[in-house]
Amino acid sequence: MFTFSETDTDHNFWRRITPALGAVLPDGMKSTIDYRNKLILAPMVRVGTLPMRLLALEYGADLVYTEEIVDWKLLRAERYINEVLGTIDYIDTTDGTVVFRTCTEERPKVILQIGTASVERAVAVGKLVQDDVAAIDVNMGCPKDFSIKGGMGVALLYDLPRAKAILEALVATVQIPVTCKIRVMPDLEETVRWAQELQSTGISAIGVHGRTKTERPRDPVNEEAIAAVAKALHIPVIANGGSQSITRRHDVLKFAQRCATTSAMVARAAEWNCSVFRPDGPLPLDDVIRRYLELSVRYDNSPSNTKYCVQMMLRSLQETPIGRRLLDSQTMQQICDIWDRGEYCRETQLRYHYAGIKGRRACRPRTLSTDDNEANDTKKQCVEESNNQNDHQIVEPLHEENVCFIRSNFADDTTLPKSKLYLHALRSGLGRAQYEVQQKDKLFRAFIRLDGQRYTSSFWEKNKRYAEQAAALVCLLKRGVESRDELIRNGAMLPMERPGTDAEETENGV
């Protein structure tokens, strides 16, 4: 358990670390997993993030797969210990997004699934993550265009030499078990032969989804094909594809039995109600959602990912009043309010805020570096450069706030902050606001000149348009057109600044 206090330092908590938290084995010794008799959360893009994986484990899953993460995304990320959350984060430092977040609680049970078409990149990822996860899995079943065009997913099944080379290299270089997940082929004998070829690489187990690459999720699953593979291999086979017949743990066991395996992985049935793994039977959906929200808040999951997962749980209930409230929600707070977890969310977010949590909101170019001074220099340099560019001898006062632009807060173009500011300036006879945008790495920040003052948001946006809108929001706030309470309510601002760090009008012309 992690505790927080208002005096916790916010310096460098995203510390790059070596060695990793995971158990370090003596050189050359491999860790193992017994893949027999396991009920497993299957890999699911967007769904298989940390809160859902922990929920599945809590309800009785034996192992959990991550969503598929493409190799280069992990290789571009930097690994940090997030001391506020007690997690290990792989952060895309160009925009501050979390590529992969994990924690010690799931360390012995989490299997990282990668999307790859390259031996070198797969091995590099394996070496990078092997101390943080229990095993690594290569996705050889994804039929999506982006996967196939990149030679990944199911494309690997049709390029057996490459598929084998990737698995062989991983098995030879990493200290953790290596597996792959395939689909069945239209021809049963070919499926069995391919699976045997893959087995020969030294992998520890193989997941078999009983549908071909052209079959859709609603098509019946080919349990006989899975059984044929299971009977032909000596490594454990993990049956997959049975969600249509699964609403409880007992159904998963039955599915595995019909497929002649002792292990099964579940995707959609767990996405709909993760308590499907519970030995005592599934729980009412509201209970599952409430617990999922607690874990999402606890691990600072993004509101958009949380909202997506809850929408997937609601399914046909999306048309109910609760479903519509969820659809309208933007912030974690708003989502949690629907399921009576608002107070928990507020308290936790404040605690994290005081403990100095960083996330997308705190991301500035290069601020994820351990050198805070360097980051400050970057920011300062930006502002000075802008002054030089425009050759202004007199530097107007700068008003700064940490405000982000959330597009869905604005129903149509006429209500956008820039439009509102245009009207405000016109009506007040101030002339047009002048915008200037700066870019560092892949982030943008805008400065507005109006009426002898300058306005900016300290929140670096992902694109130029958003940066201008965020700066316009700051301008409207400072000029009394927008209210601070409203911006906090719709998630554009955080509830309160840390005591003593109120950024209001701190930078007077830098």
Ligand X SMILES: Cc1cc2nc3c(=O)[nH]c(=O)nc-3n(C[C@H](O)[C@H](O)[C@H](O)COP(=O)(O)O)c2cc1C
Residues noted as catalytic: 142
**Min separation Cβ 213 and ligand X, Å:** 12
Of residues 66 and 457, the one with the C-beta less far from ligand X: 66
The CB-of-199 to ligand X minimum distance in angstroms stands at: 18
Nearer residue to ligand X within complex by CB, 277 or 444: 277
Question: In Å, how far are 55, 58, 293, 352, 411 from 283, measured between CA atoms?
Answer: 12, 13, 15, 30, 37
- Quick one: which H or E segment has residue 421? helix 417-427
Rounded to whole angstroms, the maximal C-alpha distance in the chain is: 81
Give me the least distance between CB of 183 and ligand X, in Å please.
8
CA distance 227 to 230: 5
CA distances from 174 to 64, 127, 136 (A): 19, 6, 9
How long, in residues, is the chain?
A: 510
CB of 240 to ligand X, least distance (A): 5
Residue 101 vs 454, nearer CB to ligand X: 101
Nearer to ligand X, 71 or 461 (CB): 71
Based on CB atoms, which residue is closest to ligand X, 212 or 490?
212
Secondary structure (DSSP) of 141-176: ----HHHHHTT-GGGGGG-HHHHHHHHHHHHHH-SS
Least distance from ligand X to the Cβ atom of residue 94, Å = 23
- Measured from the CB atom, is 156 or 267 closer to ligand X? 267
Contact positions vs ligand X (CB under 6 A): 42-45, 47, 67-68, 113, 139, 141-142, 181, 209, 217, 240-243, 266-269, 271
Q: Considering only CA atoms, which of 180, 268, 272, 249 is closest in space to residue 37?
A: 249
Q: How many CB atoms lie within 10 A of CB 128?
A: 18
Report the amino acid identity of residue 54. L
Q: CA 27: distance to chain centroid? A: 32
Task: State the amino acid at position 287 in one-letter form.
Answer: D
- Taking alpha carbons only, the member of 469, 231, 135, 496 closest to residue 350 is 496
Q: Least distance to ligand X from the beta carbon of 184, Å?
A: 11
